[in-house]
Structure 1
Amino acid sequence: MEVEVIQSAEDLEMLSPFKVDNNLWGTKTVPETYGYLGFVPGDGFYLKMVCKEEDPLRKYRDMNAPVYRDSAMEAFFLFESERERYIQPTYLNFEVNANGALLAAYGKERIYRTYFAKEEHQEFACSARIEADRWSAALRIPLSILEHIYGPLCLEAGSTFTCNFYKISEAAEIEHYASWSLIETDVPSFHLPEYFGTAVISGGRRGGGQG
């Protein structure tokens, strides 16, 4: 994946979208899901994900609620740093439903994760929008928060990191799982950094949008 350098979040939909189209663990159908990821130097990453799903399941409204039990879109990120070069790396997870309820945490494995506080959630500026035939979610991932976790990060053109993006619902009536980067396990879990895909920060070239 190429992550373009952009000027602001308003430029996101000028980029080429990534698609969350690997159905997992027996899932037959998943609402079409795609997204845009851009990088503003000195500021952070901006993400928008879109799901063509009418009237998405959306019970939860509170910060760090288990939104994966609704219909949710998720983004996981892992960055390398000198601080963690010789230890098991930390990765971040961001999970959001159509109410804009955000579950956000970091840690080295699926259990014992550290949830972000209210002040940090405000910096993520997470929002969601419901339209007639789709819903979308957008958020900001500030460099200041990343460097609090990882220490100094030199993110510029040519820098790489790993990530994955998901569509999920654990609700029995609509249960489904899909990912951007394929996960090859028998047991359902998105908390598998070994299956994250590589992303590289590139220059400011523009791709086509998707509606």
Structure 2
Amino acid sequence: MTAPVSATVRLLLVDDDPLVRAGLRLMLGGSPDIEVVGEAADGAEATRLADLHAPDVVLMDLRMPTVDGLAATEALRRRRRPPQVIVLTTFNAEEHVLRALRAGAAGFLLKDTPPAEIVAAVRRVAAGDPVLSPAVTQQLIAHVADSGRDARRDRAARLLDRLNDREREVAVAVGQGRPNAEIAAELFMSVATVKTHVSRILTKLDLNNRVQIALLAHDAGLLDGAG
């Protein structure tokens, strides 16, 4: 479901502001395990450069001319070997962030995030981990105005009917933002078994990552009143 990651993380920067791109390149290019393989000024150029350079991770601005970051994220994540995508945003764009997460982005960063945290986030998504903490995930979902909730709830319920009881329990725990070790302890299974269940959930529901499992569990109402 994710692109293979080499010892060096291949990173593509996408932002319409050349000063932002220059700052990111300076910040990230100094890390010995991260190679900035290209820079794009909009989503159309991002998809072209992704074909050319096969990045492991794309750091994606949302608001850009021609093709915005949402459309570019959707296009990249539909590929057979998709790169991981981190969206760059501000808190006043929560609805756009939620759409990007539904499209398969591994998480988001604020543009004023400290440099060390941006570097750490790139490494984390390259390893297959989302960059949203449980608290941020819950806060983001809770604060977005969710039009069409009934239709999404019905769709989510139909999808989750594909899961067996154990997989459903794991999906709820993932939706609550619990790490694998905590899920294992709560459900009396090994961490390896939890990982197997998560992989099966992703495959059965045709999802990209744990964030999308959380969003689906939220849409289905499985997190209502969950502690």
Q: Which TM-score band applies after superposition, normalised by the shorter structure?
A: under 0.3
Higher helix share: 2
Higher strand share: 1
- TM-score of the two chains, using structure 2 as the length reference: 0.25
Q: Name the larger-Rg structure.
A: 2
Work out which structure has the larger RCO, using CA pairs closer than 8 Å and 6 or more positions apart in sequence.
1
